[in-house]
């Protein structure tokens, strides 16, 4: 029964984090300014399993007319060819922290799906342990 509670706790913490990140991403989409940027370069990195990741460098013009060049936060498996127009979100006070719209969304969905599964498994383990004790079918853990 303690194992079920621990798994439930871990799942709950992951799910809470995932939901908070999703809400933060949604709030940023409302509060930040949109612009169209152009990919000017791609930095290439390798993952631990020799997979290739790309980090696009994008130029865009902020509302005041200044051109900003940023290395987007995070890596992606998507290669944006140089010259590709991309939608960008940026905070007007911190345009150098811009990101491509939609980047990171799929990973967040996967984290939340995993967290839901872990939470459900922990809940199931806890219920089975409680039912087993209530029915007298399982010896109490010591």
Do residues 93 and 63 touch, judged by C-beta distance below 8 A? no
CA proximity to 86, closest of 96, 74, 68, 101? 101
Across 111-122, average pLDDT: 84
d(Cα 102, Cα 24) in Å, to the nearest integer?
13
83 has a pLDDT exceeding 90 = yes
Model pTM?
0.54
Average pLDDT of the chain to the nearest whole number? 80
Domain segments of the chain as ranges: 2-135
CA distances from 27 to 54, 85, 104 (A): 26, 24, 15
pLDDT at 40: 93
Across 89-111, average pLDDT: 72
């Amino acid at each position: 029964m303690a194992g079920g509670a621990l798994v439930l706790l871990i799942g709950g913490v992951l799910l809470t984090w995932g939901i908070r990140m999703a809400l933060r991403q949604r709030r940023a989409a409302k509060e930040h300014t949109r612009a169209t940027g152009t990919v000017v370069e791609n930095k290439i990195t390798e993952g631990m399993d020799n997979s290739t990741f790309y980090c696009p460098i994008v130029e865009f013009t902020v509302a005041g007319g200044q051109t900003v060049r940023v290395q987007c936060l995070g890596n992606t498996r998507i290669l944006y060819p140089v010259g590709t127009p991309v939608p960008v979100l940026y905070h007007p006070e911190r345009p150098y922290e811009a990101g491509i719209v939609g980047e990171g969304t799929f990973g967040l969905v996967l984290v939340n799906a995993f967290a839901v599964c872990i939470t459900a498994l922990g809940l199931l383990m806890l219920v089975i342990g409680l039912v087993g004790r209530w029915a007298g079918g399982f010896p109490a853990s010591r």
